[in-house]
Amino acid sequence: MKVENLRVGIIGIGNMGKNHLRVLSTLKAVEIIFAYDISIGEAVKTAEKYGVRLSNNLLEDLKLIDALVIVTPTHTHYDYVKLASNYVKYIFVEKPLTDSLETTLDLEKLAIDNDLYIQVGFIERFNPTILEIKKIIDSSSNVINIDFTRTNRLSNRITDVDVILDLMIHDIDMAIFLNGKVNNISAYGVLEDNMIVFSSALLTHENGVFSRLTASRVTEKRIRQISITCSDMYVDCNLAKKEIYISKQTIEQSYENISLSSVEETVYVSTQEALLSELLSFVNYCLHRLTDESISNINDAKDAIIIAKKIQKQIKEMNL
């Protein structure tokens, strides 16, 4: 049923959730009915900042909404989605959908049985840089390898998942998004206190392209980088700065004693916030059934968690 305004609730308004609340509060088609968080102190300040009512009775407030946004620690996603499925048909969940394949499959069945629309927050799909990268890849038949690097010193914010489900999961999803299904995986990594903090994985895709993924919580420098090797060009992409440079070989030419053997091009990248694009896609589907190839659903979440678990298994077996 189409409605003029989408009545939305949000569970989790901590470090990540407050950004979702900020963006939702700017959307004219959205009416934020409530925000809910188990950490009352900071939640009160955040709710007041955006003029949103803080819920003290989640079960009652779930009856008042059309759609729910869940931005809580990964290990809580499963229970919140199951609870929400009794009240709403549209649910947005931050990545990863859950922390195991079993619970992901359970939610897949739940969605089918209850006709639920569940969108998973793989935000990099909406990064304007990735959208340009996809155009480049789709227009070239000469891609050989894509390197994904994602590093950040361990955040106190993330305590329930390792570096694979925290950071690498983004690049696993992007590798599939850009190159398609994977038929072989090779991985190694480093553990600290039985938690994987550094991981490197080589994915071989069915189309013959390789994806090399590196994720680290022990690297002091924050890096969000993609490098693409093609037979006729090299593409260097900084996701954080939204910069893309293409290096190409060219016919050697001379200009006043200067010899050129290659050329570097800069690709224009939109500055629109990825989170805004992502939440807009969710709202547009809820209200108008508008779809977007960047939207990540349960099948995408399942594909990503399957690969993530295989990488985890290889690394843990190697470190026995």
Q: For the segment 40-52, what is each residue's pLDDT rounded down to a tens digit?
A: 889 999 999 999 9
**pLDDT digits 0-9 by tens, 76-115:** 999 999 999 999 999 999 999 999 999 999 999 999 999 9
DSSP label at 167?
I
> What's the rounded Cα separation, in Å, for the pair 31 and 139?
40
How are beta strands 223-230 and 143-151 bridged, if at all? antiparallel
> What's the rounded Cα separation, in Å, for the pair 120 and 148?
21
For the chain, list the domains and their CATH numbers: 6-122+276-297 (3.40.50.720), 125-271+304-318 (3.30.360.10)
Best CA proximity match to 225, nearest among 235, 247, 271: 235
What was the pLDDT predicted at 64?
98
Provide the percentage of residues in the chain whose pLDDT is more than 90: 83
Report the predicted TM-score, pTM, of the whole model to 2 decimal places: 0.91
Sheet holding 258-267, edge to edge: 182-192, 195-205, 210-216, 143-151, 223-230, 233-238, 243-255, 258-267
At 14, the pLDDT band (50, 70, 90 cuts) reads very high
> What's the rounded Cα separation, in Å, for the pair 51 and 225?
37
- Residues 6 or more apart in contact with residue 230 via CB below 8 angstroms: 140, 142, 143, 144
